[in-house]
């Protein structure tokens, strides 16, 4: 029940909010339909008048002016309902797109690991577009077709003949049965088509992003073959929808033709035997013509509404997702952190059936100290960072900042007090200045340059023709790996938070550059807490404490000198790296 209630709450509040505007639009639409009824009547009066020679030029002129007046009202009404209904549908689409985006930003990392980018993008494009059409053009179509059909049938019954009207309803009854079948089947087919579209979109996005890897490994033909398969699946899914429409729409037009045949045969017979005048026959056929559009529009309305429902259900699936990472009901009144960090017996796994990535990790970091974390690949270093930034919640043990349990600190406060440089060094498709100032939008140019100098990227930036206004391209494609790393470090330094976390953020720079950056960090980060994840011993040798992880376990802990004296994992890594440097120097 709760899920269903939430689903109804996604769209319904917006429709209720704009319901007065919708009502005005529907009223204008009703006026248009009502005015349309008089045009066949005036045409019939002109026909009967001319046939019986009972109408003069003034009478014809009066009826023509009434037809023109009806046309003007029709024009005004169409403008009003289009502005009110179509405009409101666009507003609802915009609000829902913002709502969906805001909700996605609250979802945990787990959700993004399980859902591809193409699938998420399709929610913002095709699905929301289908919802907009359903609450805009489809509402108009359904309302207009229903009202016009009822009004036309009423006029046909009261002004012409009940018997003839009943004849014309036979094809409409058959049409209703086909419409029910069509609506019942089109929704499922549309959902499959959307999934195929999302897969196609994701494949294209991934292939474009990995273009350099594809070319480097000469896998263009393989990628082309794989794309043809994905593209063919999209074609088949789309044809599955089109085939049903291809059957329904011609059948609809066939039934419309049957209706015209009934009108001509039955109406012509009643006119011949004198039960109808020629004007009534013209009027009757004009009314039949007025019924054609609602019958044809019914198919479009069913298609659009069914696709809108399918799109809405896909959006519901996203909106029903809940984030495990949320603020506590009664968080501690914390505004700033000093940098004291405490981990006690922390154990963590990414899933119930997955092995522990961290096991019984305990460590204390005082404000102003630097903790280095080392270990082989897969030892749990990045997992530790994910827990410290609360991208995941601790399952066993505890993490606290300044004596406050991490779960009791508001997320906004926690993350504002941590500057984080991730492994992937993500860059936005903006200028270098905008990327560096991403964490402090109000930063001055002088502050941006100071952070860039500390990250040893300033000189590189000044060599670019546009300098700090250089556009870095999608994901920083125009920058080298080292330039992206140093730009990311500058972004973190500019944030000037009490805690800085560098997750293997110096791996793409040479040892000389690394040494300069570390020297700059001493000055830039004086009195503040730093956590450095690294593979190179040279990166961590001046840290206050070094934690060595081995398959998630805290294998060693101490200063550089203490760990070297133990001749354990750390010393072994140091000796190997020293030997590698000597071999490189010998070459």
The sign one gets for the Cα dihedral 37, 41, 42, 44 is: positive
DSSP 326-347: ---SS--------S-EEEEEEE
509-540 pLDDT, tens digit per residue, is: 777 788 888 888 888 888 889 898 888 887 88
| CA nearest neighbour of 402 among 333, 354, 345 | 333
Q: Is residue 305 part of a domain?
A: yes
pLDDT band per the 50, 70, 90 thresholds, residue 479: confident
User: CB of 131 within 8 A of CB of 308?
Assistant: yes
Half-sphere exposure of 477 (CA within 13 A, CB side): 9
Q: Is residue 397 part of a domain?
A: no
252-291 pLDDT, tens digit per residue, is: 777 777 777 777 787 787 778 877 777 777 777 777 776 7
User: CB of 248 within 8 A of CB of 182?
Assistant: yes
Beta bridge partners of residue 500, listed in sequence order: 419, 530
List the domain range (segments joined by +) for residue 475: 424-496
The yes-or-no verdict on residue 9 having pLDDT over 50 is yes
319-328 pLDDT, tens digit per residue, is: 887 877 788 8
Q: Are residues 431 and 309 in the same domain?
A: no
- At 1 the pLDDT is 39
Mean residue pLDDT of the chain comes to 79
The separation between CA 543 and the C-alpha centre of its own chain, rounded to angstroms, equals: 43
Total residues belonging to the chain: 587
Task: State how far the Cα of 428 lies from the Cα of 477, in Å rounded to an integer.
Answer: 10
Q: Is residue 416 part of a domain?
A: no
Q: Is residue 342 part of a domain?
A: no
438-450 pLDDT, tens digit per residue, is: 888 888 889 888 8
Tokens of 323: 């984030």
Q: Are residues 66 and 183 in the same domain?
A: yes
374: three-class secondary structure by DSSP? strand
Q: Is residue 337 part of a domain?
A: no
Residue 78, phi then psi, degrees to nearest 5: -65, -40
Q: Is residue 418 part of a domain?
A: no
If one compares 163 and 487, the residue with the highest pLDDT of the two is 487
- At 457 the pLDDT is 87
Neighbours of 386 (CB within 10 A): 20
Q: 393: left (phi > 0), else alpha (psi -120 to 50), else beta?
A: beta
Task: State how far the Cα of 181 lies from the Cα of 526, in Å rounded to an integer.
Answer: 72
Number of domains, the chain: 2
CATH number at residue 433: 3.40.50.300
CATH number at residue 164: 1.20.1560.10
The yes-or-no verdict on residue 4 having pLDDT over 50 is no
The yes-or-no verdict on residue 3 having pLDDT over 60 is no
389: three-class secondary structure by DSSP? coil
Residue range 130-148: average pLDDT? 80
User: CB of 35 within 8 A of CB of 77?
Assistant: yes
- At 5 the pLDDT is 41
Q: Are residues 310 and 455 in the same domain?
A: no
The yes-or-no verdict on residue 301 having pLDDT over 80 is no
Task: State how far the Cα of 267 lies from the Cα of 177, in Å rounded to an integer.
Answer: 26
pLDDT band per the 50, 70, 90 thresholds, residue 8: very low
Exposure b/e, 540-557, CB count within 10 A at least 16 = b: bbebebbbbbbebebbbb
Q: Is residue 543 part of a domain?
A: no
């Amino acid at each position: 029940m709760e899920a269903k209630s939430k689903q109804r709450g996604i769209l319904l509040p917006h429709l209720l909010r704009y319901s007065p505007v919708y009502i005005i639009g529907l009223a204008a639409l009703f006026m248009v339909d009502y005015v349309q009824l008089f045009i066949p009547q005036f045409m019939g009066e002109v026909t009967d008048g001319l046939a019986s020679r009972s109408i003069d030029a003034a009478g014809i002129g009066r009826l023509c002016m009434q037809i023109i007046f009806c046309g003007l009202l029709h024009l005004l009404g169409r403008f009003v309902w289009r502005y009110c209904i179509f405009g409101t549908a666009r507003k609802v689409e915009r609000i829902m797109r913002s709502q969906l985006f805001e909700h996605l930003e609250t979802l945990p990392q787990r959700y993004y690991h399980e859902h591809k980018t193409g699938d998420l993008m399709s929610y913002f494009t095709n699905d929301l577009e289908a919802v907009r059409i359903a609450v805009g053009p489809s509402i108009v179509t359904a309302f207009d077709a229903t009202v016009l059909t009822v009004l036309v049938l009423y006029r046909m019954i009261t002004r012409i003949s009940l018997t003839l009207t009943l004849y014309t309803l036979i094809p409409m009854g058959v049409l209703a049965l086909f419409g029910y079948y069509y609506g019942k089947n089109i929704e499922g087919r549309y959902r499959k088509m959307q999934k195929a579209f999302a897969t196609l979109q994701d494949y294209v996005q991934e292939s474009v992003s990995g273009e350099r890897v594809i070319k480097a490994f000469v896998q263009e033909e393989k990628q082309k073959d794989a794309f043809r398969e994905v593209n063919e699946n999209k074609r088949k899914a789309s044809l599955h929808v089109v085939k049903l429409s291809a059957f329904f729409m011609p059948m609809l037009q066939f039934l419309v033709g049957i209706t015209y045949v009934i009108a001509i045969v039955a109406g012509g017979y009643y006119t011949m035997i004198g039960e109808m005048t020629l004007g009534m026959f013209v009027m009757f056929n004009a009314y039949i013509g007025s019924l054609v559009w609602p019958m044809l529009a019914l198919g479009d309305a069913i298609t659009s509404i069914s696709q809108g429902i399918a799109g809405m259900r896909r959006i519901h699936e996203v909106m029903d997702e809940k984030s495990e990472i949320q603020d506590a009901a009664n968080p501690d009144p914390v505004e700033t952190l000093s940098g004291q960090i405490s981990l006690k017996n922390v154990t963590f796994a990414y899933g119930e059936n997955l092995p522990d990535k961290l096991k019984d990790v305990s460590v204390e970091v005082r404000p102003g100290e630097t903790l280095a974390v080392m270990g082989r690949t897969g030892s749990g270093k990045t997992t530790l960072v994910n827990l410290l930034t609360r991208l995941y919640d601790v399952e066993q043990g505890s993490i606290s900042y300044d004596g406050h349990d991490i779960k009791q600190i508001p997320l906004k406060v926690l993350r504002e007090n941590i500057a984080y440089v991730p492994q992937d060094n993500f860059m936005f498709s903006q200028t270098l200045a905008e990327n560096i100032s991403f964490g402090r939008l109000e930063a001055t140019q002088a502050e941006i340059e100071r952070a860039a100098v500390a990250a040893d990227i300033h000189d590189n930036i000044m060599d670019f023709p546009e300098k700090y206004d250089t556009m870095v391209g999608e994901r920083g494609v125009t920058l080298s790996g080292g330039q992206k790393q140093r730009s990311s470090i500058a972004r973190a330094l500019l944030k000037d938070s009490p805690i800085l976390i560098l997750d293997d953020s110096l791996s793409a720079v040479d040892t000389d550059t690394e040494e300069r950056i570390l020297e700059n960090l001493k000055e830039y980060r004086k009195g503040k807490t730093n956590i450095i994840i690294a593979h190179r011993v040279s990166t961590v040798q001046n840290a206050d404490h070094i934690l060595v992880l081995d398959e998630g376990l805290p294998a060693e802990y101490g200063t550089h000198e203490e760990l070297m004296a133990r001749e354990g994992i750390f010393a072994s890594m140091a000796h190997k790296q020293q030997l590698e440097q000597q071999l490189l120097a010998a070459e």
